[in-house]
Chain A
Amino acid sequence: MSQRVLLSAKEIHIILHRLACQLLENHLDFSDTVLVGIQPRGIFLAERLAKILKEDYAANDIKLGSLDITFYRDDFRRGDKTLAANTTSINFLVEGKKVVFIDDVLYTGRSIRAALTAIQSFGRPEEIELLTLIDRRFSRHLPIQPNYRGRQVDAINEERVKVHWKENDGEDAVYLVS
């Protein structure tokens, strides 16, 4: 098993600031927008972006939640293992709001499909966008594309993209494991 660095800490830093600016450009003061990190790995990215928007761009009205999609997945009982759930925490109204889903890697699109169903339990959003740090193109199973992407990656199915976050894994880095 070998691994190659796709993004270094410095590159991630630059990309996060670019993504934050793109969000600002489209949502201005975030009064009608809510950010939703997809559990389990999307929340690190979502928290980072919220922090940058607050500290560097004075967007103080950021509403940030986390959404667990375990009970909405389409592969229940298809794997060997019991799927473990994570915490969902959405303490605001979604009805009529612009929702931005935030996840670290977009691969088959099935997680986002599940998230689109899951968010309906909290109301009917005005619109839903998708932000992803890594977009593994050519590997989609469903017609789902990101509105904001950090880096596009060509990887074959046997390869795995690993995103490390300082607060969880001790460093900021993206690896391609093959």
Chain B
Amino acid sequence: MSELSVNHLLGIKYLNKQDIELIFETADHFKEVINRSIKKVPTLRDITIANIFFENSTRTKLSFELAEKRLSADVVNFSASQSSVKKGETLIDTVNNILSMKVDMVVMRHPNPGAGVFLSKHVDASIINAGDGAHEHPTQALLDSYSIREKLGSVKGKNIVIVGDILHSRVALSNIFALKLQGANVKVCGPKTLMPKHIESLGVQVETNLKKALEWCDVANMLRVQNERMDISYFPTTREYAQQFGVNKSLLESLNKEIVIMHPGPINRGVEITSDVADSNQSIILEQVENGVAIRMAVIYLLASKIK
């Protein structure tokens, strides 16, 4: 039986194709478990996991916590807004204090890119990156690919377009790594101002016309416009953004095929996608959320089995 090539999940960049396949196969089994009437297994009853969130999160935090509890791990939660971080404690001190309470694994979200990598070099615990600034969000990319695999049979050879705020999006970067690793064709689409320079060097094509991008793709992953990360104005108005890069029902119906719509959430309804698209049967947004728990259970299980 193979195991993961890594001891931490810091980013998709550090994984190989076999790792992703192993995570998906394991997630298949956990998906069966979470659809039972009793959704819990006793596997991780001797593991303690700390969820450390230096940045707000609803879905990811809930999803991780649920995954940990379904595996019977002990869970402690920590959010920076109510903690001694406010009093000036450093990241390593904060985490080492938590680890001295015998914690085996840390799930961390942090506004600074590379925070997870930094932590993994300085503390003795398994680290899972739950989003580090505009860098990576590996579990989101895994659950996105897993949802595509579930809906379309495989990821390999599929045409996938990532639409929206590529510049500020950790979801976009992790998704590009994950999709390329699995042999998908990837395009990114959005306003020029929200497109990082040299993005082509990751092996993706840039398309600025949404209609053309949608005609080409099998799956459109619509990203959220991250207003909170925008220090300057990247587009004139939200209304203009929605007109050029938002997906609505009539645009979908004008295409010559049925494409799959994804969104990592939270949705700005009426901006990236309209309500009738979000709630249509072409959208797999809620499946993504369900798969998120199974994927996170798989990642935690596989990393925990490497703790000695």
Contact = CB atoms under 8 A, between A and B. Distances in A.
Contacts of B302: 82
Interface string B1-36: 111100000000000000000000010010011001
Given A71-B33, A87-B29, A82 B43 contact: no
B38 A83 contact: no
B37 A121 contact: yes
Interface residues of A, number: 20
What does DSSP make chain A's interface, helix, strand, loop or mixed? loop
A120 B1 contact: no
Contacts of A73: 43
A71 B70 CA distance: 11
Nearest to A68: B29
Interface in A51-91: 68, 70-73, 76-77, 81-88
A81 B44 CA distance: 16
Contact of B3 (A71, A76, A82): A82
Given A71-B42, A77-B308, A88-B29, A82 B1 contact: yes
B193 interface: no
Contacts of B41: 71-72, 121
A86 B2 CA distance: 14
Interface of A: 68, 70-73, 76-77, 81-88, 117, 120-123
21 contacts: A70-B29, A70-B43, A71-B33, A71-B41, A71-B301, A72-B41, A76-B44, A76-B46, A76-B305, A77-B305, A77-B308, A81-B1, A81-B3, A82-B1, A82-B302, A82-B305, A83-B1, A88-B29, A88-B32, A122-B36, A122-B38
